[in-house]
Amino acid sequence: QKEVEQNSGPLSVPEGAIASLNCTYSDRGSQSFFWYRQYSGKSPELIMSIYSNGDKEDGRFTAQLNKASQYVSLLIRDSQPSDSATYLCAVYKGSARQLTFGSGTQLTVLP
């Protein structure tokens, strides 16, 4: 079982819809969670960080964390074609002291 798992996609949604990206992790001791967006040929860009159970909203983005079920998700409201990118989930476990990334979900927003 991979430490951090994401559906590779591609995930396609129409413009204006809600895109839902999911990530599960294997270690219950994980403590910090991040979502990055990576455009083709570019470096990852931090979108959200979340540290405690519940929802965290920032503009059109909402991160949701459920430690009991070991998943973290990212919702993108009113999706735009410019949101088309690969979204990377990253999980930090203090005992390992490293950030582990999922393989990413490729999102395409159709105009």
What is the spatial distance between Cα 46 and Cα 37, in angstroms, rounded to a whole number?
6
- Give the Cβ contact number of residue 25 at 10 Å: 25
Binding of other proteins at residue 32 (CB under 8 A)?
Answer: yes
Binding of other proteins at residue 104 (CB under 8 A)?
Answer: yes
**Shortest Cβ distance from residue 27 to other proteins (Å)?**
13
**Helix or strand run (H / E) with residue 14:** strand 11-14
What is the spatial distance between Cα 70 and Cα 67, in angstroms, rounded to a whole number?
5
Which structure tokens are listed for 4?
């951090």
Give the binding range for other proteins (CB under 8 A) out of 10-18, 26-34, 55-63, 68-76: 26-34
**Shortest Cβ distance from residue 37 to other proteins (Å)?**
11
Binding of other proteins at residue 34 (CB under 8 A)?
Answer: yes
Measured over the CA atoms of residue 25, residue 31, residue 36 and residue 42, the dihedral's sign is negative
- Print the binding letters for residues 40-69 with other proteins: x by CB under 8 A, - otherwise: --xxxxx--x-x------------------
Q: Give the residues lining the site for other proteins (CB under 8 A).
A: 31-32, 34, 36, 42-46, 49, 51, 88, 90, 92, 94, 97-104
